Structure 1
Amino acid sequence: MDNVENEVREAEEAKNQEGKADAQAEPHGKRRSLRLNRKTVILCVIVGLIAAVGVGAYKWHETPEFCATVCHTPMDEAYLNTLYANPYEAAVDKWGNEVSKADAMLASKHGAMGKTCMDCHVPAIEEQITEGLEWIQGDYYNPLSERDLARLVAYRGVGETEFCLNENCHNITKSDLTNETADQARNPHSWHHSEYDCSDCHKGHRASIMVCTQCHEDSEVPQGWLTWEEGQNLEHQYMSWNDEQFLAGTSSGE
């Protein structure tokens, strides 16, 4: 009888000991789980912050201020002012010359439509590497050398006309463009001079030039624009010493 009672008592004590062990182990398990969850939260926060900084940096890279701050010293005044100029008011070009109506500069007209530097100066990795090296070495002109359409499309695999006339920019054909200006005495878009490109007349950061006036004095010159002779004088004054396109005898168009 005593043996049976002892066995029962031992069994109950063993059961009680197991219960105590489980009770002690349970809080430890909870603390461990809580500790793991806290680490996960911290990791997620860090990843989120890195992602937010990356997105912010990418968006900043797309803004004109990025160009002025990080890369090109002359960008802040010489170029950004033409981009932000009211297209219906007088402004100054990248060289500091007065332009009686700012929409004579493509930068002003495009800026008013919400366009930025990157819409025309599409970043290409080869071009960015070249410009980055030039920037580090100080091997660039101030103001920068101009870029005609041939140079703007050099890294992009598109034709010079397609750079402007496409579904994302001016979604019209050459024929459409010719018809739009057909009422002028001298249609500037008649394309009978096939050697001319859009950038020969339309300039980005200085007054555009009515090239037709080189031969046709009765050509209509929009407000703010220059005649061909005025454009030549300006280019000789500001470009003859620093622009490879000018020195090569070709037209330039930024």
Structure 2
Amino acid sequence: MGNSEEASAKRGRKRWPIVVGVVAVAIVAAGAGFAVWHEQPGFCNAICHNPMDNYVEGYYGDETLMVNSHAREDVTCLECHEPKMDEQIAEGLAWASGNFATDDAGNIVRTGVTADEKMCTRAGCHDFDEVVAATADWAGEAGVNPHSSHQGVAIDCSNCHGAHSQSYMYCNTCHDYEVPEGWASPAAGH
């Protein structure tokens, strides 16, 4: 083996750790960038335009939706919708296969999905005692409080509060209370 061949072999042996290091740094940087992007609302509709565009548009642009008030407070989607790997895989497979249905508004048709007190009152979110205090004697009616229902824990937050759709005065299924602006109300007694 000549001197130039030996020198070339030595340079090659010295370069591989640098190449491996550069590739490792690139992979870590790409992974970190993906993790940051994954946390943003735009991630969902960048991948799954149908049906996620509707949700992201509401998050950013529809001031009548509760989700938009969360956006104004810099609360991201994943702060409420905690990502679990098995759920994300199932959602990805459903999207890839087209195995999901949407309603007339373009929202995913789901059953059994609720936002309950445990979800809405976790650390850093809503303090339920403060919510109850703020809605005491609702609309000037002594003893009426939609957050201290005679139905107890049978009522989830999402019975009334529609994060991605119009909120609904569930109490008015039986009662006839004042309805917040922009909310829907069923006819009392139905």
The answer to whether TM tops 0.5 is yes
Match of 2:109 in 1: 145
Instruction: Output the amino acid matched with 2:162.
Output: K
Given that 2:41 and 2:77 are in contact with CA atoms closer than 8 Å, whether structure 1 keeps it comes out as yes
Q: TM-score normalized by structure 2?
A: 0.79
Match of 2:135 in 1: 181
Q: TM-score normalized by structure 1?
A: 0.61
Does the residue aligned with 2:55 lie in a helix, a strand or coil? helix
Aligned in 2, Cα 1:146/1:109: closer, same or farther, shift over 3 Å?
Answer: farther
Instruction: Output the amino acid matched with 2:113.
Output: R
Q: How big is the shift at 1:117?
A: 1.8
Once the two structures are superposed, what CA deviation does each residue of 1:38-95 show, in whole Å capped at 9, x if it has no partner? 433222111111111111112222222221122351212x11111002xxxxx4xxxx
Is 1:228 equivalent to 2:182 in the alignment? no
Is 1:168 equivalent to 2:128 in the alignment? no
Q: In the aligned structure 2, how far is the partner of 1:132 from the partner of 1:71?
A: 9
Does the residue aligned with 1:151 lie in a helix, a strand or coil? coil
- Out of 56, 59, 69, the residue aligned to residue 80 of structure 1 is 56
Once the two structures are superposed, what CA deviation does each residue of 1:102-145 show, in whole Å capped at 9, x if it has no partner? 2x422111111112221222111222222222112211113311
Given that 1:106 and 1:204 are in contact with CA atoms closer than 8 Å, whether structure 2 keeps it comes out as yes
Q: State which structure, 1 or 2, has the greater radius of gyration over its C-alpha atoms.
A: 1
Equivalences, count: 178
Match of 1:242 in 2: none
Instruction: Output the amino acid matched with 1:191.
Output: S
Match of 2:170 in 1: 211
Relative contact order higher in (CA < 8 Å, ≥ 6 apart): 1
Given that 2:114 and 2:156 are in contact with CA atoms closer than 8 Å, whether structure 1 keeps it comes out as no
1:1-254 correspondence to structure 2 within 5 Å: 36-76=13-53, 78-85=54-61, 91=62, 102=63, 104-142=64-102, 143=106, 144-146=108-110, 151=113, 160-170=116-126, 172-173=127-128, 175-184=129-138, 185=141, 186-194=144-152, 195-217=154-176, 219-229=177-187
Match of 1:88 in 2: none
Match of 1:11 in 2: none
Q: Which runs of 5+ in 2 are unaligned?
A: none
Instruction: Output the amino acid matched with 2:109.
Output: S
- The percent of aligned pairs where both chains have the same amino acid is 34
Q: In the aligned structure 1, how far is the partner of 2:161 from the partner of 2:60?
A: 18
Instruction: Output the amino acid matched with 2:122.
Output: N
Does the residue aligned with 2:113 lie in a helix, a strand or coil? helix
Q: In the aligned structure 2, how far is the partner of 1:128 from the partner of 1:180?
A: 36
